[in-house]
Amino acid sequence: MYELCMGSLKAECLNKKVFLFIVAAAVLMVCPLFGPGRGLLAAIDEKMPSTIPAEVIADWKDQDGVSGSSYDAAIEKIVGELPADYKAKYEAEKGSLSGEKLYLLACHWRRVSKMQKHEADLGRILFAKHHNFGGFLVGYHENVSSNTIGMPTLDDNWQNGGALCDLKMTNYYSKHDYLFEKSDGVPRDPCVSFDGKKVVFAISGKKGKGYKLYELEVDNPSKPKQLTTDPATDIVVADYEPCYLPNGDIMFSSTRCFGMVDCAWNPVSNMYLMNGEGKFLRRVGYDQVHTFYPVVTDNGTVVYTRWEYNDRILTSCMGLFYMHPDGTHQTELYGNQTTWPMTMIHARPIPNSEKLMAVAGGHHAPYSGELMIIDPIKATNGTAGIQMIAPKRPTKAVVKKDDMSAGDVEFLFQNPLPLNENEFLVSWRKTEKEKLYKLYFMDVDGNRELLAWDNQSVSQPVLLKARAKIPPRLASSVDYSKNDAIFTMQNVYVGAGLKTRSGTVAKGTAKRLRVVKIDYRVQGATIGQTGGQSGFVSCPVAKFGASWESKTVLGEAKIYDDGSAAFKVPALTPVYFQVLDSNGYCIATMRSWSTLMPGEQFPCVGCHEPKTESPNPGQVALAGEPKELDKPLGIEGRHFKYGDMIQPILDQHCITCHKAGHESGLDLRGDLIWGADLSDADYKDSKRYWTRSYVNLTEKAASFGSGTYINCLSIFSMSEQQSAYAFGSSKSPLMTKVINAKHNDVKLTKKEKEIIACWIDLCCPHSGFYTDYMKAADSTQYMKLLDKRLKWETIEEKNIEELIKNGPVPNAINFDSDQSNFSAINLVKNAGIQYFAKQQQIVLQRSAAGIFMVTDLGGRVMFRTKLSKQDAIRSTTISLPSNLSTGAYVVRFDGAGERCEQMISVVK
């Protein structure tokens, strides 16, 4: 057939160049393995080789339960499950074979039948060989030492040496070569460019020297180009887990934020951006602890893991987030209010699906776990959107009480690479006792084929080929010439945030939105700790169990009668929100944070609204144009320091009576007591002074919430959504039974009451900044550590200045308001949808009833409507809701036997 085709083409083509072009096109049709980034690789030889690796045979026997010389049952089962065409090949070759030889033949055709349909992907696989990452905590693999207290800060299993491995499958048992090998460091985290010609990856130096990013050419891998360096000779950083972006930039995790895990001592990594040459390096994630593993999705966004525990439990705290490649729209994707799985790591999108494959891990645990498929369209929290796989089984509902830190998982899987919803590549070990991970082809039922193994673990597989479909290059909306950004909220009463245990907070109750800035402790700040056997907080700002972080109230925004708000915030600053009533009491608090890029406008529908439901489009919001924050309390813009903001109120109104010897035992004097001199063991090792009234007011509070005077939302509060008015100032006896009960005719002003309520609702901070109440020598030590962060920020400011001078990112697709149909970036090629940007209308061609919806790029439903079968044969015009802000969205129609979707841009 091939020869006839070529002969016919040759006869018809007189022009030699035309003939060669058509020959090339025909070759591509006949052999899909030819193409960019693959070279002229032949199809994988399906013939059974004379020798099969002993490791593969041993794995077959283990999987099939074969022992001794009894093969008949295994052969019968394998052959019985072979597809007809492969069974015929087996029958044609078995001849007089018997015993092990016949078993191996059956296993061979089982292997080929599973893998051959993925031949175009499996022809060349790149993966890494290295020691097992991780240790005491899941984020314990940066190889940066910032230790000041004699605790380990490096990988538990650190081992020099490793390689980037290149598996070229000429047959189904090919052995890998080393594309790049390093004996005195660790290569890791390979990411292949979209054209398949380059690889960006991380390399360590010696132990304790971090990682730096390098790029190599696949056809000339011996001389990789270094892209990142340490900021200074005395400042060591780790840059790792790089990810190519469609516009040519690279996103990666880095310790350049110089943060530290609050409840430990190891460094923190956040997300950073640079161009393909390593220029304009800048921070885009401003997060409390780690952000892991950025991966580009089919719609051009970046999915990653974010570890956080602002005013909530420190274990169940690693959900999936996504952002646009320029750092905008940092938003929850799945699991931010979920107890189990504790951690969601190594997430990758499943091709041609909204689902992701990821690893369910633990807190005090290695960088691995159990496999799952996540469907963020079905749910965004809990287990409703999770299917455990390999094997398929029911998803757990809760974590065992005796396994809170490990996550109630076995640490067997890491770095899955889905090929479709049923099959994938993955690094796996059978039991935790096995040291080495091996690379497998596997399906969701756990059936497997061993592909690669070495003298170290092998993991992090990626396909070494050009991507057939490059994600859209989303235009950047960042304006680095600006210092602020904008939040808008449609209706605060929409969502779970204002739900009480018996209903919903009455409309009109919410009056203001408090905006709070978070400051994170600096790397290496192990100067004192609070807590005991139940855990500890390094360099504390509060009693153990109260606020994790230093906080600053920036101001308040008015909530209008329709529940709307619109206000400005400083860009590149992590902030969170608290909904306040007329007394200044907190109705609901965010227990997370949000960071906007310069010039960004971020629309919120409500308060923790369900992402899978469509909001009511409503009318034009009463909030109107965004405004600067109000500052009614006089404490705004300063770190919330107890001695400066609460003690003066007590001095004026309380200490005349409440001093030593008072009959109530409540001493509210403001003298300072050294932590080691306090009877409460939580303070013994804090290395700072504590105000007497603070210690007494928070007695029996904070650690577990409710105390004699204070009801504090503690760091042990579960991840799930808390009910409105369930905690804080509205539940604190200090407010309800003392201050508002006109205790002994004490008359506080409204402002004074609201400041005290604010302190309680901020989770009772004591220090404003981390150096407050330290001794001079310790404060000096902290500021020396902080100097590294400040040095880097100075460098980063210059990088941004150069970026501004350089102009916008080249080759980005800027959505054009004059363009009526964005067919160039369709997610699914389908003529059923046409978008008219000026009119903000969709014209839909359909022949069936179904659901029409508009989602943002993370799957959050912005609009949904049912379309009946009536008029289905004609076009349907749908006007988009007026509350959609500027940006990219996906419009989708799902009907009986019909499905089409397209990316659009809304331009105001």
Residue 587 has pLDDT above 90, yes or no: yes
In 10 A of CB 295, how many CB atoms? 18
Question: How many CA atoms within 13 Å lie on the side-chain side of 610?
Answer: 10
Per-residue pLDDT tens over the stretch 796-830: 999 999 999 987 644 334 433 333 333 333 333 34
pLDDT in tens, 128-148: 999 998 776 776 788 886 544
In this predicted structure, the answer to whether residue 21 has a pLDDT above a threshold of 50 is no
- pLDDT category, 795, cuts 50, 70, 90? very high
Question: Residue 619's pLDDT is what?
Answer: 66
Give the pLDDT of residue 588. 92
Instruction: With CA atoms as reference, report the closest residue to 286 among 515, 474, 552, 517.
Output: 517
Q: Which residue has the higher pLDDT, 679 or 197?
A: 197
- The DSSP call for residue 348 is E
Most confident stretch, 246-260, 700-714, 845-859: 246-260
User: Does residue 1 carry a pLDDT above 50?
Assistant: no
Q: Are 350 and 425 in contact (CB under 8 A)?
A: no
Residue 7 scores a pLDDT above 50: no
- 457-467 pLDDT, tens digit per residue, is 999 999 999 99
- Tokens 């009491």, residue? 585
- pLDDT band at 14, cuts 50/70/90? very low
Residue 327 and residue 317 in contact, taking contact as beta carbons nearer than 8 Å:
no
641-650 mean pLDDT? 97
Q: SS3 of 314, please?
A: coil
169: Cβ contacts below 8 Å, ≥ 6 apart:
44, 122, 123, 124, 125
Distance CA 84, CA 98 (A): 21
The string over 93-124, giving b where at least 16 C-beta atoms fall within 10 Å of a residue's C-beta and e elsewhere, is ebeeeeeeebbbbbbbbbbbbbbeebbbbbbb
Contacts for 349-355: CB closer than 8 Å, 24+ residues apart: 349/295, 349/297, 349/298, 349/303, 349/418, 350/418, 350/420, 350/421, 351/298, 351/418, 351/419, 351/420, 352/298, 352/420, 353/420, 353/421, 354/859, 355/421
Token reading at 553: 């109230």
Of 145-149, 215-219, 514-518, the least confident: 145-149
pLDDT above 80 (res 76): yes
Express each pLDDT in 592-632 by its tens digit: 889 999 999 998 888 877 766 666 665 678 898 999 999 99
In whole angstroms, what is the distance from residue 299 CA to residue 373 CA? 19
Specify the length of the chain in residues. Answer: 908
Mean pLDDT of 49-74: 95
Write the CA distances from 229 to 173, 203, 225, 237, 505, integer angstroms: 39, 11, 11, 8, 53
Establish how many alpha carbons lie within 13 A of residue 296's alpha carbon, considering only the half-sphere containing its beta carbon: 27
Instruction: List pLDDT tens digits, range 87-96.
Output: 999 999 999 9
| pLDDT score of 534 | 55
The pLDDT value given to residue 705: 61
Asked whether the predicted pLDDT for residue 887 surpasses 90, the reply is: no
Of the two residues 795 and 865, the one the predictor is more confident about is 795
**Percent of the chain clearing pLDDT 70 (strictly above):** 87
pLDDT of residue 903: 81
More confident residue, 172 or 367: 172
Instruction: Tell which phi-psi region holds residue 369, choosing left (phi > 0), alpha (psi between -120 and 50) or beta.
Output: left
In angstroms, the CA 232 to CA 551 distance is 30
Residue 298 has pLDDT above 80, yes or no: yes
* Cβ contacts of 140 within 8 Å, gap of 6 or more: 133, 134, 154, 155, 156, 266, 367
Q: Which amino acid, residue 813?
A: I
Sheet containing 833-836: which strands, arranged edge to edge? 833-836, 841-844, 876-879
> Residues 64-81: what's their mean pLDDT?
94
Q: What would the mean pLDDT of 341-347 be, rounded to a whole number?
A: 92
C-alpha–C-alpha distance, residues 649 and 657, integer Å:
14
Residue 259 has what DSSP assignment? B
Strand 318-323 to 833-836 pairing: unpaired
Whether the upstream peptide bond of residue 294 has omega within 30° of 0, thus cis, is no
Mean pLDDT of 244-252: 96
Region 522-540: mean pLDDT is: 81
Q: What is the mean pLDDT of the chain?
A: 85
Calculate what percentage of the chain has a pLDDT beyond 90.
58
| pLDDT classification of 886: cutoffs 50, 70, 90 | confident
- Give the type of residue at 170: T
Pairing of strands 850-855, 861-867: antiparallel
The reported pLDDT for the residue numbered 757 is 96
Structure tokens at 312: 């909530």
CB neighbours (10 Å) of residue 602? 20
pLDDT classification of 407: cutoffs 50, 70, 90: confident
| pLDDT tens for each residue of 146-164 | 544 444 556 778 888 999 9
Torsion of CA 39, 40, 45, 49, to 10 degrees: -70
* Spacing of C-alpha 535 from chain mean position: 25
Residue-wise pLDDT tens digits, 732-773: 999 887 877 778 778 899 999 999 999 999 999 999 999 999
pLDDT value of position 8? 36
88's CB contacts (< 8 A; 6+ apart) are none
pLDDT at residue 284, rounded to an integer: 97
Average pLDDT of the residues in 318-347: 91
How confident is the model at residue 357, as a pLDDT?
Answer: 98
